[in-house]
């Protein structure tokens, strides 16, 4: 066994480099052709049933509007019932012929069962499940007064998506539907002062990548990586206090449109704004460079602020 590992350690590096050198141009060409085909074939969502969690504001709200414009039927889920009614009415005005609101909490298993059951009872099916509900928190890990205070982040961001997905799968199999999960750029690039948030989003990424294989070909899975989007949740107090001129944020309506278009094209991954995919590439190729930038930013900008707090 030791000899096998020695042989693999010697042979795999040059073989991998040679394989990439010969295969990568072919791979890029095939990917270009595939991209062209996806732009020619776009899913028509008119009359399809779309269940969206976290639909009362932010990305979830505006994704609902994009589906509404194309005539989809909507089941809107969130804790704030008053806001849900406003989003539902706007969606009807934009073109959705049937919208229901289901107030509840994605961290509660019984509520997640209710979301699916009421959607099926009303529409008879579900075609797209948009797992958008999430919370953020900016705090030094050692500043938690007790470690249990971190649980709500994981409960909402990770378990909130997995619970409802579990109950939706049998119905999505029947409709050959899609699961869309909103993660974060933090799933690939860990953010200091958001340790648990980054972990929750990374957990979503790995869970849905594995689930995609299990569900193929019956159910498609799209994983979304938003950068900093102009919503209440993604604008931490430190930016509000110290200004945001140095922050490159994307309007939430533009983000939602990119998500909707990517889902309709059948994309496996969606990065929005699209330039962050190149940031991910630099992180993969030169991880030390990105780590150095984050270390410098944390020591000189973030750490003094959080220490004062």
Instruction: Exactly one of 65, 197, 269, 305 is catalytic; name it.
Output: 197
Query: Residue 281: phi, psi to the nearest 5?
Result: -65, -45
Sheet containing 99-103: order of strands: 99-103, 73-78, 49-53, 128-131, 178-182, 220-226, 269-272
Residue from 33, 42, 34 nearest 265 by CA: 42
Which two three-digit tokens encode residue 283?
């992180």
Rounded Cα gap, residues 35 and 54, in angstroms: 30
24 catalytic residue (yes or no): no
Question: Tokens standing for 188?
Answer: 């690939």
Per DSSP bridges, beta strands 220-226 and 269-272 are: parallel
Hey, what are 76's tokens?
Answer: 């809107």
Residue with tokens 């699209």: 274
Rounded CA-CA distance 203/158 in Å is 7
Determine the Cα–Cα distance for residues 185 and 191; give it in Å rounded to an integer.
Answer: 9
Query: Catalytic residue positions?
Result: 197
């Amino acid at each position: 066994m030791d000899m096998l590992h020695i042989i693999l350690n010697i042979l795999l590096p040059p073989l991998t480099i040679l394989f990439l050198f010969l295969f990568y141009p072919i791979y890029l060409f095939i990917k270009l052709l595939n991209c062209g085909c996806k732009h020619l074939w776009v899913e028509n969502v008119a009359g399809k049933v779309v269940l969206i969690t976290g639909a009362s504001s932010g990305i979830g709200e505006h994704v609902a509007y994009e589906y509404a414009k194309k005539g989809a039927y909507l089941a809107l889920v969130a804790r704030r019932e008053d806001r849900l009614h406003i989003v539902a009415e706007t969606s009807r005005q934009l073109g959705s012929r049937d919208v229901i609101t289901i107030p509840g909490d994605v961290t509660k298993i019984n509520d997640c069962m209710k979301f699916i059951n009421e959607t099926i009872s009303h529409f008879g099916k579900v075609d797209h499940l948009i797992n958008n509900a999430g919370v953020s928190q900016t705090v030094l890990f050692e500043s938690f007064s007790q470690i249990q205070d971190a649980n709500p982040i994981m409960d909402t961001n990770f378990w909130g998506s997995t619970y409802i997905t579990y109950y939706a799968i049998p119905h999505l199999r029947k409709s050959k539907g899609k699961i869309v999960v909103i993660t974060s750029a933090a799933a690939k690039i860990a953010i200091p002062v958001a340790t648990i948030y980054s972990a929750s989003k990374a957990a979503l990424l790995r869970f849905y990548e594995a689930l995609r294989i299990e569900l193929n070909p019956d159910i498609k899975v799209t994983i979304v990586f938003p950068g900093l989007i102009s919503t209440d949740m993604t604008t931490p107090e430190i930016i509000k206090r110290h200004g945001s001129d140095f922050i490159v944020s994307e309007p939430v309506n533009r983000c939602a449109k990119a998500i909707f278009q990517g889902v309709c094209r059948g994309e496996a991954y969606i990065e929005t704004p699209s330039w962050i995919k190149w940031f991910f590439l630099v992180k993969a190729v030169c991880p030390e460079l990105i780590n150095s930038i984050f270390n410098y930013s944390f020591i000189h900008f973030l750490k003094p602020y959080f220490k004062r707090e």
